Amino acid sequence: MSSTAFAALLAFAAGLGGAVQIAVQGRLGERVGSMEAVTTAALVGCTIALAVLLLARRSLAGVGDAVTGPKWQLLGGVMSVFIVLAITVAGPRIGIVATSAFLIAAQFGLAAVIDRYGWFGVERVPVTWARAVGIALLVVGAALTLRR
C-alpha cells in the first residue's frame, strides 16, 4: 500500500471515529457534565498516547522536545480539548450529523484560508472558484442538516 493510500485510509478511519466520538461524548457529557466528559476524554487519550509512545519509541524525550519548541505548535492540544468540548455540547443538542457537518464545513473553510496564506508553515495552495463553491456548498449543506 502506498503512503498516500495509507494516509487516505487513516483519514477515512478517523472520520468514522469522529462520528462515534460525537455520539459517545454527548452521552457521557449528559451523564456526568460537559467539563467532566472532556477531562475524562483527555485523560484516556493521554494515557493511550503515552503508552503507544513508550512502546514505539521507548522514551518520552520527544515530548520534552515538543514542549520546549515554538509555543504555537502546541495549539493542536488546545484545539483538541476545544473540539471535544464542542462536540460534547453540540452533539446532544443538534444531532451527530449536524454537529459533524458544521465541524467539517468550518474545518474546510479555515483550511482553505490556511492553505491560501501558508499559515503555520504549510505550502501555499490557491483558493480556486471550484474550491470556494465547494466550501460554500458544505456550509449550505451543514445548515440543511439542522432541518428535521
Which amino acid belongs to residue 40? T
Round to whole Å and give the CA distance between 142 and 108: 12
At 90, list the grid cell: 453540540
The pLDDT value recorded for residue 1 is 87
What distance in Å separates the CA atoms of residue 82 and residue 102, rounded to the nearest whole number? 15
Question: Comparing 56 with 148, which gets the higher pLDDT?
Answer: 56
Report the amino acid identity of residue 72.
W
Average pLDDT of span 119-139: 96
What CA–CA distance (Å, rounded) separates 32 from 47?
20
Q: Does residue 148 carry a pLDDT above 90?
A: no
**The predicted structure's pLDDT at residue 122:** 96
Distance of CA 87 to the CA centre of its chain: 10
The 10s digit of each residue's pLDDT in 97-116 is 999 999 999 999 999 999 99
**What is the tens place of the pLDDT at every residue in 11-70?**
999 999 999 999 999 999 999 999 999 999 999 999 999 999 999 999 999 999 999 999
How far is residue 105's CA from residue 90's CA, in Å, rounded to a whole number?
15
